[in-house]
Structure 1
Amino acid sequence: MPEAASRWTTSGSSSGAPRVAPDQALDPFGAHAVYALRLDGRAHTAADPRALRHLPGAPRGVDPAALHGYLCFSHPPDPRTLFAGVERVPAPAPWAERPAPADEGSAVRTLRALLAASVARMLGAERDVGVYLSGGLDSSLVAALLARAGARVHLFSLDFGAPWDAELEHARAVADHLGRPLHRVRARPRDVSRALEPTAAALHQPFGDPVTVPLFLLGQAARDHVASVFNGEGGDQLFGGWATKPMLAAEAYGGAGYSREAAYLATYHRFYGVEDQLLTPAARAAIGTMDAGAWLRPALDAPGLPTLLHRLRAANLRLKGAQNIAPRMAQLAAVHGLQARAPFFDTALAEWTFTLPADFFLRGASEKHLLKRAAQGLLPPVLIDRPKRGMGVPATEWLRGWMSPLRWEAARRLSARRLRRDGWFRPEYVAALRRGDDHPGETRRRRAGEKLWALLMLHLWLDAQDPPLDWRIS
């Protein structure tokens, strides 16, 4: 049993339903989850699903439906895990739409107060804390609020190297504004290659976004300076960030045959819709008729949320926040002995935002309108009003660079021989991704690299499991 597993505990219930221990209160934002496995009429729970695999009689295989979910979402969607028989206990969603009279000026003041309270609560008595600073609005605002609360902030920003380091100048501007030095954390192909295996080993479940390993590198750098790290995660999901506009446009102009579920799945840019090209006939048979849209309906059609924008926000909080961003954040910090803190993932703040009218979030073409108003006076205007760029991880260039060690890592982990042996993925399709080719309708070259990265991280995670998973299709 891995050394870390000795800290994990399980509990049983003869009723067959998962029983959550008092110290395992469910986190609505998903950073800390509870997993359950039923064996011989008893339900065992653990904070890490890998602990449950060491129970006598625990299944050794993978869950094909969870694999299908991973290929669509870049993570196994709740309640599935890749471990056959192990489920993540769904966390409650404590928010519902409760419209209330809203004056924008008072809403700005309330938002500032709620954010300051969330930062103060998470800060506690600490004074030296880290901030993962992207240069964007959300992490910059968290850093400014921490500084205003009296914290000595240590700022860490990723350096991908030219020409992919455009966000660094904005991170430097924030650091200068706060009068704090900026730690540049190298995330070049060789740095990322060295961190692949320890990143995969740190994860309870695979996360296929290219930013996963760079986040590991940030924690590796921060652990020498602080015991906890703050970030701006959750800001986009909570305040209707850049991904909301395409969904609203699709809803308005989708025309005949439009499907909200299909449009939402398309925002992940993974393998939804191209399963026939990727999967072998044996894999398709193993997955069966699993409908990926079934994971979306409870969020997209949530009762009590009649406004589409609020339904999209709730779906993003649950699907992209609680099932991907928050658990990945917590696990990649914990492996370095760090506590991860995200002030936007705050229940009081989230509940309050669902009382607001839609135009407080999207005003014309400007997203996160209210948050930008709240940031005025805390950050320079140029940092508030600049267009959203996001963390542009150059996965395609990393995986295709002739001298890049990541190219050779992909060749080794995703070799045609291995793919044929395991029986899940068509070698010719994966080879096309390795050449940088994608389906004809995809015009953005980066998507091929994102898909290939998801497959690489899946195989790295599979290789890290002890005992090994029964992965091959017989």
Structure 2
Amino acid sequence: MCGLAGLLRPAPDTDEERLTALVRAMGDALVHRGPDDSGVWADAQAGVALAHRRLSILDLSPLGHQPMASADHRYVVAYNGEIYNFAELREVLVARGHGFRGHSDTEVLLAAVVEWGVEAAITRCNGMFAIALWDRQERCLWLARDRVGKKPLYYGWAGDTFVFGSELKALWQHPDFDNAVSRDALALLLRLDYIPAPHAIHVDTFKLMPGSLLRIDAVAVASGAAAHAPERDQHRYWQPRERMAAAIAQPFGGDVLEAENRLDELLREAVALRMVADVPVGVFLSGGTDSSIVTALMQAQSRHPVRTFTIGFERSHHDEAHLAREVAEHLHTGHTELYVSGSDALAVVPTLPAMFDEPFADASQVPTALVAKLARSAVTVALSGDGGDELFFGYKRYERALRNWRWQQRVPSLLRRALARSAQQHGEASRAGGFAALAAEMGARGIGDVYRQRIARWRDPQAAVPGATLPITLYDQPDPLRGAGTPADAMMLADFSVYLPEDLLCKVDRTSMAVSLEARAPLLDWQVAEFTWSLPLDFKRHPSGNKYLLKQVLRRYLPDSMVDRGKRGFGAPVSEWLRGDLREWAASLLEPQRLRNEGYFDADLVHGLWQQFLGGERKWHTHLWNVLMFQAWHEHWREQRRALCAANT
């Protein structure tokens, strides 16, 4: 895994040394993503420069050095990720006359682009990646992100210069990057706990969406025609809604046993591809279905005990390390577990703004950071079980949303509208449950509206962020699948498209990369996803329990007693923290006069929730946590900006 950064100026740069130094500083800000090697490439006459930080996983020799030029010298690439089917692609390319100096997937990627063109080459790649590719012949820059969105890529404007990088800290290094906070993005943070692509916390700054390509022509940058490129400039080469609809239209025709055999086969292949590395490989094991099946399939295909890693919490109801230990003992893995105290977890909190670069409020970021650090002590690559819930109907909130949707359809429309209007008077109180919460859903146009109420933190974030206009996401559509499947399919699509890449995968990427660890997610192989979408819903949602087919496969490797048990998830006791050791820290960030001076939040509203929380209203801890994550990030950003300005004067 690696980090990349770069820029494209509107005019040639006569000072090549200055240009190279600038892009090197952008790349060096990402040293944690790639501590093993660094490289820069610049073409001053074209006004373009690329930087790369390398975490060596495949081909540890200098032949994997980046930025790397294609054999015909037309293309130069800085690339972050892994192409798991690179050996297969290499065989095809060798048969077509291509030669290779080393055995890195980067060299295969460049040859594929030479042979088939950019989009066709990317479409042939099965992997996780973010790519910046300069085409010398066409004088254009290509940015690309993998299908599911496992790897991040930011881009935007620093003055009149187009800048991009794996994390915002690379863009911050440009002296002209002083982009203000986007209030609209802040409203999204309050709604979702994260900021989904294409939005970013700064104005004139964006995230490339999963499965997307962006082409920026040098002539357009020079003329100003490319300035402030919004979402519409991104081209989706793989669109989950289209792929899910196509899979549903051509459903799997076999019985449950045939589906079980096929899923076992696909998962084995996906896991095997992600075990390929020239460095030690392990797996995060929580003891739940998803991580257990990844672990079982790794061990089944390994001649040696697989390294497994688990975090346990001392004196906490969140501790489930014993479940992971039982799985590890049954599979005979090389298991490592670490029990952490509350103070160990709280010590992570001050590091979060620098780790994420963007306000991010999924509190499970804390235990995820701890288990990533633990794994890095022994391995360089770790597999995870991400994706199982979104593909196999694993969340309890799916059932609650379907139940509420059924109830609402039995209520006369006039009464539903009246109840919905009354709920508007309750404001954020509708998030606390009871009649207000149910009434808030009564105006729903479809399952999408009901589900949004299930996953939203702030029901009305614009009330808390004066001047914000809440951007539209897939969660705002009455039916995200537009009638192509069941309401259950529609909810899974929304989570797969938004929550999975921008929350779960973002969390794993930042916490793992902070300690130079590569994380891989075999359940999110795109072929696994498309097969899963073709399955009947009752292969997932079943009277005996949800995630039915995935659990049936797991029974081939673990006893029923380890399969049929509930799991609470990888959480964090935020409410306890805010009432205890973090209370003073939170009170400082939420001090009313400070909020008024900074001007991002309605100080009275936020302070009122804080006082209610301290008075015993437990529900507000989630509302307060995303405000606190912004406040901590904003403080960090201001400190970084002051330091950069001082260094440039």
Settle same-fold status: TM greater than 0.5: yes
Mapping for residues 375-394 of structure 1, pairs under 5 Å: 375-394=554-573
Work out which of the residue numbers 269, 272, 275 in structure 2 matches 1:123: 275
Q: Distance in 2 between matches of 1:159 and 1:40?
A: 47
Deviation at 1:297, TM superposition (A): 4.5
Other structure's SS at 2:556 match: coil
Q: Distance in 1 between matches of 2:561 and 2:275?
A: 28
Work out which of the residue numbers 595, 611, 622 in structure 2 matches 1:450: 622
Q: Does 1:206 align with 2:385?
A: no
Q: What amino acid is the match of 2:522?
A: P
Q: Is the 8 A contact 1:159 1:184 kept in 2?
A: yes
Aligned counterpart, 1:467: 641
Deviation at 1:263, TM superposition (A): 2.3
Aligned counterpart, 2:595: 419
Q: Is the 8 A contact 1:77 1:295 kept in 2?
A: no
TM-score with structure 2 length normalisation? Answer: 0.63
Q: Does 1:353 align with 2:532?
A: yes
Q: Does 1:132 align with 2:281?
A: no
Structure 2 alignment gaps of length 5 or more: 1-24, 32-37, 49-129, 134-141, 212-238, 410-415, 417-442, 644-649
Other structure's SS at 1:367 match: coil
1:333-392: CA deviation from partner (whole Å, max 9, x where unpaired):
011010011111111101111111111110136211111111112122122111242224
Other structure's SS at 2:281 match: strand
Q: Distance in 1 between matches of 2:630 and 2:362?
A: 11
Other structure's SS at 1:399 match: helix
Deviation at 1:38, TM superposition (A): 4.3
Q: 1:9 to 1:191 in 2, by over 3 A?
A: farther
Work out which of the residue numbers 27, 45, 64 in structure 1 matches 2:183: 64
Deviation at 1:192, TM superposition (A): 2.2
Q: Is the 8 A contact 1:82 1:205 kept in 2?
A: yes
Q: Distance in 2 between matches of 1:213 and 1:294?
A: 27
Work out which of the residue numbers 244, 248, 252 in structure 2 matches 1:96: 244
Q: What amino acid is the match of 1:4?
A: A
Deviation at 1:20, TM superposition (A): 6.3
Q: 1:126 to 1:147 in 2, by over 3 A?
A: farther
Tell me which of the two structures has the higher relative contact order, counting C-alpha pairs closer than 8 angstroms and 6 or more residues apart: 1
Structure label with greater radius of gyration: 2
Q: Is the 8 A contact 1:396 1:436 kept in 2?
A: no
Work out which of the residue numbers 565, 576, 585 in structure 2 matches 1:397: 576
Q: 1:431 to 1:153 in 2, by over 3 A?
A: farther
Deviation at 1:145, TM superposition (A): 1.2
Work out which of the residue numbers 452, 460, 466 in structure 2 matches 1:265: 452
Q: Distance in 2 between matches of 1:453 and 1:186?
A: 24
Q: Quote the RMSD (CA, aligned, Å).
A: 3.1
Aligned counterpart, 1:77: 196
Deviation at 1:438, TM superposition (A): 9.6
Q: Distance in 2 between matches of 1:373 and 1:143?
A: 15
Higher strand fraction: Structure 1 or Structure 2? 2
Q: What amino acid is the match of 1:272?
A: R
Work out which of the residue numbers 490, 494, 517 in structure 2 matches 1:315: 494
1:11-49: CA deviation from partner (whole Å, max 9, x where unpaired):
9999xxxx9633953112212132221467764433323
Q: 1:64 to 1:25 in 2, by over 3 A?
A: same
Deviation at 1:106, TM superposition (A): 0.7
Q: Distance in 2 between matches of 1:407 and 1:155?
A: 35
Q: Is the 8 A contact 1:49 1:86 kept in 2?
A: no
Q: What amino acid is the match of 1:21?
A: A
Aligned counterpart, 2:394: 241
TM-score with structure 1 length normalisation? Answer: 0.85
Aligned counterpart, 2:320: 167
Q: Is the 8 A contact 1:362 1:368 kept in 2?
A: yes
Aligned counterpart, 2:421: none
Aligned counterpart, 1:472: none
Q: What amino acid is the match of 1:72?
A: R
Other structure's SS at 1:134 match: coil
Bigger shift: 450-459 or 301-310?
301-310
Q: What amino acid is the match of 2:486?
A: T
Q: 1:165 to 1:34 in 2, by over 3 A?
A: closer
The percentage of counterpart residues that share the same residue type is 27
Q: Is the 8 A contact 2:281 2:379 kept in 1?
A: yes
Q: Does 1:408 align with 2:433?
A: no
Q: Distance in 2 between matches of 1:10 and 1:211?
A: 38
Q: Is the 8 A contact 2:292 2:327 kept in 1?
A: yes
Q: 1:438 to 1:50 in 2, by over 3 A?
A: same
Q: Does 1:223 align with 2:404?
A: no
